[in-house]
Amino acid sequence: MLACARIGVIHSVVYSGFSAPALASRINDAEAKVVITADVGFDRGKTIPLKPVVDEAVKTCPTIDHVVVVRREVQGPPLSTPKEIDWKEWIEGERPVCEAEQLDAEAPLYILYTSGTTGKPKGVVHVHGGYMVGTYTTTKYVFDLKDDDVYFCVADPGWVTGHSYIVYGPLLNGATILTAEGKPDYPNPGRWWDLIERYGVSIFYTTPTAIRLLMRYGEDWPKKFDLSTLRILGSVGEPINPEAWEWYHRVTGGDKPIMDTWWQTETGSILITPLPTVPLKPGSATRPFFGIEADVVDREGNSLPANAGGFAVIKKPWPSMMRTIYKDPERYKTYWFTIPNCYTAGDICHKDADGYLWFMGRADDVIKVAGNRLGTAEVESALVSHPAVAEAAVIGKPHKTVGESIKAFIILKQGEQDSPVLIKSIKDQVLKELGKIGVPSEIDIVSSLPKTRSGKIMRRVLKAKELGQDPGDISTIEE
Ligand code: 7RM
């Protein structure tokens, strides 16, 4: 990524789990000339071949001149020259210094494909100047970055968080970063806590889904390690439910502020977030970063009063906003013309009396029960506040009398058993938290949920399956 930025080449990082057709469609949309791949990847102790997927994909990619292979296996198959190049041989003998290409601030830096709910993935385009301003500034102030910090972000580089908060933001600040391959519970659920102790990590940035995964294994794992070097914590990717917030806070010492950062691939950098000095409310991303003007509005763009649910919008441009959807300017316009005079994020949200923003999920996922709009996050948060529940996903199903009924899919914590008594007590918990309107009429106990690589539950896949419909693009699904 950095080498490309240096010489002014546009990069497009993709998730290593893509199928050959999913990879080919992104290569072809971008008209890429070079693919860089590892021969294999490693996942939970297994070796995952990557090169064969690339081989299959490039058969249908006429623009590709070269495939560069980073060999991680000791004994790999021979490469077919001259099209295929061994990474090590490629860089051997190269000069250690390379002058930076001088570019216009608006020159494209990268394209990152993000899945739309339907149809083909969108190529979000970021540019050199504004993106650097946004990622540099937010990393510096949101994480109060100091020279002696060790900064650890566990995102996947194929997700925008990896771009902005492993690579560009921290490195523009000259930060010392730690990055680790693999899953949080492999070889055991102490993996990240162990790394924090070993490297003296002071800033740790992760996702609610990872926290909930680790919660399943209990508090003994973090307790085994010395986490006293931690100073500031971060969360990104979804609303963090209060249970997960409290757990994360407690196991890391009980006194470190958690920066719940709201942003999107399209925004490039964090827009709604606390700073370390801002009073926190678990579950709220608090208020806009400086320079950002955000609001909660109705469909016509009218500002809503405190506590009323509506659409999250940004009311003026900001440096790191995407500049276009690659080769699809019409699709770009939908962000700016859905609600007049602002950028529509596609999230539903409410603002409390202190001006704190509470994100409740994607507008597409809103469930309407007897005229009441419920955010998926509200119901899921109520479900996981039950001590036996580890993860929950809810969908709306068409219902004759109330419009939609709620169906929940639940993963139980280790050692818990499905039973009618348990289901009843889970429903009672939601009743207590949200009232009758939020109680699911159906609950299925499952062992996993369809998620993206960044841990977002793909509710539309659950819904399509439930209703016997076509799930659309599922290339970003992790399992
Ligand atoms: C960074 C990233 C964007 C969507 C966004 C929201 C959700 C992300 C938070 C959040 C509540 C948060 N980019 N989202 N962060 N919701 N609180 N702190 O995730 O393009 O992959 O997704 O993620 O729905 O629109 S993304």
- Ligand 1 atom showing the smallest separation from residue 285 Cα: 18
Among 165, 207, 236, 358, residue to substitute to test ligand 1 (most atoms within 8 Å of Cβ): 236
347 close to ligand 1 (CB < 6 Angstrom): yes
- State both tokens at 150: 């060790």
- State both tokens at 387: 């001590």
* 452-476: pLDDT as tens digits: 888 899 999 999 999 999 887 777 7
- For the entire predicted model, the pTM comes to 0.94
Query: b/e string for 82-117 if b means 16 or more Cβ within 10 A?
Result: eebbbeeeeeeeeeeeeeeeeeeeeebbbbbbbbee
- Tokens 């000259």, located at residue: 174
Please list the pLDDT of the chain residue by residue as tens digits (479 residues).
999 999 999 999 998 888 899 899 999 999 999 999 999 999 888 999 999 999 999 999 999 999 999 999 867 778 888 899 999 999 999 998 999 999 999 999 999 998 765 567 899 999 999 999 999 999 999 999 999 999 999 998 889 999 999 999 999 999 999 999 989 999 999 999 999 999 999 999 999 999 999 999 999 999 999 999 999 999 999 999 999 999 999 999 999 999 999 999 999 999 999 999 999 999 999 999 999 999 999 999 999 999 999 999 999 999 999 999 999 999 999 999 999 999 999 999 999 999 999 999 999 899 999 888 899 999 999 999 999 999 999 999 999 988 999 999 999 998 999 999 999 999 999 999 998 999 999 999 999 999 988 889 999 999 999 999 988 777 777 76
CA of 270 to the centre of ligand 1 (A): 10
Determine whether 325 is exposed, middle or buried from the number of CB atoms within 10 Å of its CB (0-12, 13-18, 19+): buried
Going by alpha carbons, the residue nearest to atom 8 of ligand 1 is 237
Q: How far apart are the first and last CA of the chain?
A: 27
The torsion angle over the Cα atoms of residues 41, 42, 48 and 50, rounded to 10 degrees, is 0
**Residues 65, 36 contacting (CB under 8 angstroms):** no
Going by alpha carbons, the residue nearest to atom 19 of ligand 1 is 237
**Residues 460, 424 contacting (CB under 8 angstroms):** no
* 126-150: pLDDT as tens digits: 999 999 999 999 999 999 999 999 9
By three-state DSSP, how is residue 392 classified?
strand
CA of 171 to the centre of ligand 1 (A): 22
Q: Which residue, 260, 264, 263, is CA-closest to 274?
A: 260
314 close to ligand 1 (CB < 6 Angstrom): no
Q: Alpha helix locations (H) across 305-458?
A: 329-337, 376-384, 420-434
Among 262, 351, 356, 456, residue to substitute to test ligand 1 (most atoms within 8 Å of Cβ): 262
d(CA 114, CA 111): 10
Going by alpha carbons, the residue nearest to atom 10 of ligand 1 is 238
- Ligand 1 atom showing the smallest separation from residue 114 Cα: 20
Going by alpha carbons, the residue nearest to atom 11 of ligand 1 is 239
Number of neighbouring beta carbons within 10 Å of residue 337 = 11
* 69-85: pLDDT as tens digits: 999 986 777 888 889 99
The DSSP bridge pattern shows strands 389-399 and 232-236 to be: unpaired
173 close to ligand 1 (CB < 6 Angstrom): no
Going by alpha carbons, the residue nearest to atom 23 of ligand 1 is 237
- Ligand 1 atom showing the smallest separation from residue 261 Cα: 18
Query: b/e string for 191-210 if b means 16 or more Cβ within 10 A?
Result: bbbbbbbeebbbbbbbbbbb
Give CA 290 to chain center in angstroms: 22
d(CA 172, CA 167): 8
112 close to ligand 1 (CB < 6 Angstrom): no
How high is the mean pLDDT of the chain? Answer: 94
CA distances (Å), origin 190, targets 175, 183, 453: 25, 11, 21
Helix axis angle, 376-384 relative to 242-251, nearest 10°? 50
Going by alpha carbons, the residue nearest to atom 18 of ligand 1 is 262
Number of neighbouring beta carbons within 10 Å of residue 329 = 9
- According to DSSP, residue 280 is labeled P
CA of 361 to the centre of ligand 1 (A): 8
Domains of the chain, earliest start first: 2-102 (3.40.50.980), 112-361 (3.40.50.12780), 370-467 (3.30.300.30)
362 close to ligand 1 (CB < 6 Angstrom): yes
- Ligand 1 atom showing the smallest separation from residue 359 Cα: 11
473 close to ligand 1 (CB < 6 Angstrom): no
CA of 192 to the centre of ligand 1 (A): 22
d(CA 11, CA 24): 15
Give CA 349 to chain center in angstroms: 18
The DSSP string of 194-239 is HHHHHHT--EEEE-HHHHHHHHTT-THHHHTS--TT--EEEEESSP
3-state percent helix, strand, coil for the chain, nearest multiple of 5 = 30, 25, 45
Among 142, 238, 287, residue to substitute to test ligand 1 (most atoms within 8 Å of Cβ): 238
